Amino acid sequence: MVGNFRRDPERETTNLFPSIVCFFFASNSIGTLYRAYSRGDYTTLAFVVFEYSAFLLLDLCFTALHKLPSRDRTKWRKFLQMAIWVLYSGISFAFSAYFGPFFDGPGVGYTLYGISAVGSALLFYMNVVWDYKSGCDACLEEERVRERKLQQYYVYVLDKV
Q: Are 1 and 56 in contact (CB under 8 A)?
A: yes
Domain boundaries, the chain: 59-160
Burial of 61 (0-12, 13-18, 19+ CB in 10 A): buried
User: What are the tens digits of pLDDT across the range 7-43?
Assistant: 445 555 556 777 788 788 888 889 989 999 999 989 8
* pTM check: above 0.75: no
What pLDDT score was predicted for residue 9? 52
User: What are the tens digits of pLDDT across the range 94-110?
Assistant: 888 888 888 877 777 78
pLDDT value at 3 more than 50:
no
Q: Provide the 10 A C-beta neighbour count for residue 48.
A: 20
Share of the chain above pLDDT 70, in %: 78
Contacts of 60 (CB under 8 A, 6+ apart): 1
Of 151 and 137, the one with more pLDDT: 151
pLDDT value at 6 more than 80:
no
pLDDT band at 156 (very low <50, low <70, confident <90, very high): confident
Of 53 and 147, the one with more pLDDT: 53
Mean pLDDT score, 38-62: 89
d(CA 32, CA 50): 13
Q: What is the mean pLDDT of the chain?
A: 77
pLDDT band at 5 (very low <50, low <70, confident <90, very high): very low
